[in-house]
Structure 1
């Protein structure tokens, strides 16, 4: 039925919905920049070769560090500061997923992005006051970012025609992949030339600007947007007429818990973020232990996987929509295909890192491919909840995100423990466990995943007799 829409009103990259996807892409780039920049600025903020033992001390006596206060934070404190934003993001997922189906998305995302940017501006001041303040600032920033990243999924319930869901979602979500690439490239340069506080000021100012533009450009419903053409409004509303309800019924909690397709999405999200966190967080460590390059070269090499992942994610979204619209594969088969590639290929290339990397170039190639191919899940399991329950999409994304982030937290913790025991040979255990989790989750997904609206998500199921 989804393939019966008039072709003349079909996908158009000049339409406002694609402009909206690109704008969301930019917002996600800035969100990831604000999230990840501290990982690199921490090197400049904590300089153990200068003023060791003097807490919260500025190196104003050294001309090269006039704008670079240096703090004596222990490795434990540094770890808490870096991870604080993840805990803020984690705790807000499900509440925001529920509330975004009730309250206006324009206000939720706009204020969340603005608050995240303001907290970014406050970080240098918070660091000067003390580590407790910067930890609190990062937790609150994580809550703000978790609100924005979860609530944005509700946008495509009313803005994305079924035949364009993969394309629009992949464009917007690929900002999470381009953001780290930009951060790894420019943060070091900003720190060297302007001082590390300017990193937070620049990314914070960019976020404030985007949040103001958000309030101007975005409308919750395309029918009310003055910049959307009449043809585009008709195409969007007609394609979604059987899937979007004007009312939000109470959540069918028991039906959701019993839904095997939803559990398939949850387990595959667990595996995806397990893999993602290992490859993203520990790629610099792997490069350092295997290739022994300097930190500048490490930063450049660590950024390359994000660039290819960004490209792969966008291509995957368009390819998925093309396969579905041309009736080459059913939508369920499309979701399973891209999920399979997104979970299996990183496992294969990770094992190649251990057994087939005989040179510098081969090691980098396999590392880039392992990171990049995981983004194929953008056209698979990461959008699948919209297929099975568009009315509860944001809430289900919050639930699956919590399960997925649990996998990410566990994997990063276990990887750190493995490496602390044996930095060289532990990579075999790390990649083998990752591959096993990916395969097991994928088998469950291939058996139980669906791409049709489930009975419990249909409006007729909530009629009162």
Structure 2
């Protein structure tokens, strides 16, 4: 079993770094003078990616809030009669709720399938998306993935009116389009992110997912509360189309093809990556299958996503059925945990790079520290949330802390793909995210089955399962993770016997 510090000497003595870039433990230094940071091409890419993943998650999670308003309250869940269920908490609203929106008689099981159907399409395009992005570039793949999801979101009210089966099909197609996005972005960052800027650049871009959740949940709640749930899908669908136009004209796959990048920035990026990326297109499938560091990321990704997707899809339901908040309160309080996670991701990305660059921490130690904090912390507070009874404030605080601390994992397992195999980063994320999509497929269904009566005790079981899986993933990553480039990932003609 690896120890936390046993690989520190090897992890940063990667064959990827040239001797001219090596100082004190083979850790590269910061960008040289004259290389821009503010308004640079790589940070502009991160900003546009942030907006893209903002739209991605806004389009993904709005149904979680809208579904509460789409379903007849008498048909979606059983009436609670258990004494452990909290009394109504919400104060009568000053503005009457618009109840003219259409309602559907979908029971709890049907709702579970609707919420989980997205991931049945999502799982199919992870690996193909990673391979295509690595071979041809990720710009158009990511762009059209979000554009397709936006168009399908505009069609969601029509699908719901036609029946639950049509809605499930549309959501599955949305997942099919979104499945290519994360692998495509990872593939782009393999050509754009200097090694010692990876944590901050990737954290900034992927933090858009949390920000999209933060905005989408309360805004969807407000729209449902004062207008009609159909406008939730019309608004976010239209914004997604506008984002695609910006992405198409302002982004390039590589620094070499970017039209406005400065010469100094282009040279800086290419010089830091020249020992990492190879033109050899051979994919060492068998070596990947045998790679323990890759399986370690798979386990961590699967474990983290179980808790993440459980809360992402079912937190609005928990807020309504257990804590008894109305639609307006529901949206704001369901978004609060993801606001904390967004702040955590941005902050920890900077701290992780600082630890590597200034404090000379090895890559593997940084990844293990942040991943442990990002998985053990959420498990503890998720369990605590199940035992707060009807203390609304404490329940919201614990749920917020649980999701907030999950932001540490961005600088843990999530970036580790680029550490162990930068040339295959998109494909590796496609592989790990394929496994990590399973929780999104089965988690909501299992949770809905376990919470038919919506009692506190039933929800405690859901939290127990999520916490146990999270803790296992944290321990496995701490034991077996690596921070060095794997031999099978160094693609050279010589390695193939040429």
The answer, yes or no, to whether TM exceeds 0.5 is yes
On the 8 A contact 1:157/1:391 being kept in 2, the answer is yes
Equivalent in the alignment of 2:345? 313
Equivalent in the alignment of 2:8? none
Equivalent in the alignment of 1:303? 335
In 1, distance between residues paired with 2:449 and 2:190? Answer: 41
Equivalent in the alignment of 2:412? 380
Deviates more, 1:123-132 or 1:315-324: 123-132
Residue ranges of structure 1 left out of the alignment (5+ in a row): 51-62
In 1, distance between residues paired with 2:211 and 2:342? Answer: 6
On the 8 A contact 1:9/1:235 being kept in 2, the answer is no
On the 8 A contact 2:65/2:316 being kept in 1, the answer is no
Q: Does 1:429 align with 2:454?
A: no
Deviates more, 1:93-102 or 1:375-384: 93-102
Equivalent in the alignment of 2:271? 238
In 1, distance between residues paired with 2:455 and 2:321? Answer: 8
Equivalent in the alignment of 2:171? 138
Cα distance change of structure 1 residues 425 and 134 upon mapping to structure 2, 3 Å threshold: closer
Cα distance change of structure 1 residues 278 and 85 upon mapping to structure 2, 3 Å threshold: closer
Q: Does 1:117 align with 2:142?
A: no
Greater relative contact order (Cα 8 A, min sep 6): structure 1 or 2?
2
Q: Does 1:207 align with 2:232?
A: no
In 2, distance between residues paired with 1:69 and 1:360? Answer: 30
On the 8 A contact 2:383/2:463 being kept in 1, the answer is yes
In 2, distance between residues paired with 1:398 and 1:391? Answer: 13
2:28 aligns to what SS in structure 1? Answer: helix
Listed as ranges, the matches of 1:18-417 within 5 Å are: 18-47=43-72, 68-245=101-278, 247-288=279-320, 291-354=323-386, 359-417=391-449
On the 8 A contact 2:256/2:266 being kept in 1, the answer is yes
Task: Give how far 1:397 is off.
Answer: 0.3
In 2, distance between residues paired with 1:439 and 1:42? Answer: 31
Cα distance change of structure 1 residues 454 and 405 upon mapping to structure 2, 3 Å threshold: same
In 1, distance between residues paired with 2:69 and 2:288? Answer: 47
Deviates more, 1:311-320 or 1:7-16: 7-16
Aligned length: 451
On the 8 A contact 2:116/2:445 being kept in 1, the answer is no
Task: Give how far 1:116 is off.
Answer: 1.3
Task: Give how far 1:49 is off.
Answer: 7.5
Cα distance change of structure 1 residues 258 and 221 upon mapping to structure 2, 3 Å threshold: same
Cα distance change of structure 1 residues 10 and 454 upon mapping to structure 2, 3 Å threshold: farther
Cα distance change of structure 1 residues 14 and 249 upon mapping to structure 2, 3 Å threshold: same
2:131 aligns to what SS in structure 1? Answer: helix
1:327 aligns to what SS in structure 2? Answer: coil
In 2, distance between residues paired with 1:354 and 1:77? Answer: 25
Cα distance change of structure 1 residues 422 and 115 upon mapping to structure 2, 3 Å threshold: closer
On the 8 A contact 2:139/2:252 being kept in 1, the answer is yes
On the 8 A contact 2:153/2:234 being kept in 1, the answer is yes
Query: Structure 1 or 2: larger helix share?
Result: 1
TM-score (normalizing by structure 2): 0.84
TM-score (normalizing by structure 1): 0.89
Aligned-pair RMSD on alpha carbons?
Answer: 2.5
Residue ranges of structure 2 left out of the alignment (5+ in a row): 1-21, 76-96
Task: Give how far 1:76 is off.
Answer: 4.0
Task: Give how far 1:90 is off.
Answer: 1.3
In 1, distance between residues paired with 2:31 and 2:105? Answer: 64
